[in-house]
Structure 1
């Protein structure tokens, strides 16, 4: 009996000698011969030849290769998104090695180091902001006798070091105050 490993789901497939191997995996139904991978070469950007060879899947997508699976076609039809790391735009005009060294020193001093939800770089604590009753309208829930949290409260303001996304979260004392408040509510 002939054995094949599906490159998509990593399942070992044993084919009957009389029937022989099929074109598609019986488990995930993807094409066994149409598996495509992307090779990215790190090095000189001037080396265009290696890039063309490793990106031959784009040509297949343009030609409308009907033999590939749905997922492979879906991946090929979409171009890779541009970098969401806004920091990369400043590479020519600023010394990003010093920038990253400074960021590392700051991150070493932080108690919490959240990941950016957009680009997964680390976020630095920029400061704190107090939310007062002015400009803040709390949501009223019928399950509660009062808002989830009453102003004034403070939030930590974090800035992503890669895409500069700004994120906030409650400071520790206000987290405790909110948990205490919600745990005392009767249903």
Structure 2
């Protein structure tokens, strides 16, 4: 009796010398001759094959449950806006400068759109003019009273802008809500 180890599931297979070796694994049903490989050629041929495949897909789409408009909304566009500036700007220097700025920041949030890091561009003060607080029945006073400051962050990849309360105003809001002035 000889033993063979299946390269797929790592199970030891014992086979009888009279019957001979197994062609397939009795456990996972994969061939025991070894792994199969797939060679992929990249180049002009792929573009032609892809065009042929897209034509076949267009014909198949006539019977599809999803319209082209539905599919357009589910496929995310390229959101890293920075990439389109690569030809006219030195993005290596840009990245180095961004890294230096990020090293100096106390807080380094991630962009909710593209997950790149955001840099603190500055702060904005919100005064009583132009700010209308929301009133809740659970509180006798607004959640936060002006004046307060917002930190403005800009994404280094897609240039999305986010704002959040400054550290002092966060503490002020937490103190106010933890007292629960209802």
TM-score (norm 2): 0.64
Give the superposition deviation at 1:167. 0.5
1:61 matched to 2:54? The reply is no
Task: Determine the structure 1 residue equivalent to 2:81.
Answer: 86
1:151 aligns with 2:146: yes
Aligned to 1:49: 45
Deviation at 1:177, TM superposition (A): 0.5
The 1-side partners of 2:136 and 2:94 are apart by: 45
- Aligned residue pairs, count: 140
* Alignment deviations for residues 73-128 of structure 1 (CA, whole Å, 9 cap, x no partner): 789x7355431222122111111111111111111221211111122211101111
Q: Secondary structure at the match of 1:154?
A: strand
Counterpart of 1:78 in 2: which secondary structure? helix
CA distance in 2, matches of 1:134, 1:96: 41
Asked if 1:104 is matched to 2:99, the reply is yes
Output the CA distance in 2 between the equivalents of 1:101 and 1:51: 36
Instruction: Trace 1:122-161 onto structure 2 (pairs within 5 A).
Output: 122-161=117-156
Identify unmatched segments of 5+ residues in structure 1: 1-38, 42-46
Which structure would you say has the larger Rg? 2
Q: TM-score, normalised by structure 1?
A: 0.63
- Say if 1:74 and 1:52 are closer, same or farther in 2 by CA, change over 3 A: farther
Say whether residues 1:165 and 2:160 are aligned partners. Answer: yes
Residue 125 of structure 2: SS of its match in structure 1?
strand
RMSD value, Cα = 3.0
What is the CA–CA distance in structure 2 between the aligned matches of 1:173 and 1:78, rounded to whole Å? 45
**Aligned-residue offset at 1:57:** 6.1
Correspondence for 1:181: 176
Equivalences for residues 12-27 of structure 1 within 5 A? none
Alpha-carbon distance, 1:49 to partner: 3.2
Match of 1:118 in 2: 113
